[in-house]
Amino acid sequence: MAVTSTNAWKVNVEESMQNAIRSEFSASLPIFRSKNIKQRGNQFAVITGNVSESQNTMYSVIPNTYSLSLEFFMSDLKRNDLSIKKFFNQVSRIEETLYSMIDIDPLFSLEVSSINYEDDEEFDQYKKATFSITVGNVR
């Protein structure tokens, strides 16, 4: 009988993160898990899993840490103080939602390593915030 394996990090972490952001923002912030980023409305987010590493390969089969990135894009046609304030307000809400996941599932320790801001060069008139996230399991 063939045994299929699934990526536990993808199921447990990425989908939990996607569901938490969807429940916080509902339909106002679509979130995707695709590396092929296309322009998708006024604001959207993309989750990308990067690397999973085991801390001790002798004893661990499942990796102990998982690095992923969440990119938040927001259209900014006006480029004024109000639009910048809204952008950083949305970034703060996303960060708060990520840290609230610790309360939901205490088996994972989530840390936002860095948040980088830039005007995205691929799309005209978009601001971009990239969250570098490290998730570890607590055993």
Tell me the three state secondary structure of residue 6. coil
Given this model, what pLDDT does residue 15 score? Answer: 81
What domains, with CATH codes, occur in the chain?
8-137 (3.30.2000.10)
Give CA–CA dist 87/74, Å, rounded: 7
Given this model, what pLDDT does residue 6 score? Answer: 47
Given this model, what pLDDT does residue 50 score? Answer: 72
pLDDT at 126 over 90: no
Place of tokens 């952008």: 87
pLDDT confidence tier of residue 1, bands split at 50, 70 and 90: very low
Tell me the three state secondary structure of residue 32. strand
pLDDT in tens, 21-62: 888 888 888 888 766 666 677 899 988 877 665 555 555 555
Given this model, what pLDDT does residue 48 score? Answer: 85
Range among 2-11, 103-112, 127-136 with highest mean pLDDT value: 127-136
Q: Give the mean model confidence (pLDDT) for residues 106-118.
A: 83
pLDDT in tens, 90-103: 999 999 998 887 76
Given this model, what pLDDT does residue 86 score? Answer: 93
pTM of the predicted model as reported, rounded to 2 decimal places: 0.78
Q: Which two tokens mark 7?
A: 């990526």
User: For the chain, how far is it from start to end, CA to CA, in angstroms?
Assistant: 31
Question: Which of residues 90 and 64 earns the better pLDDT score?
Answer: 90
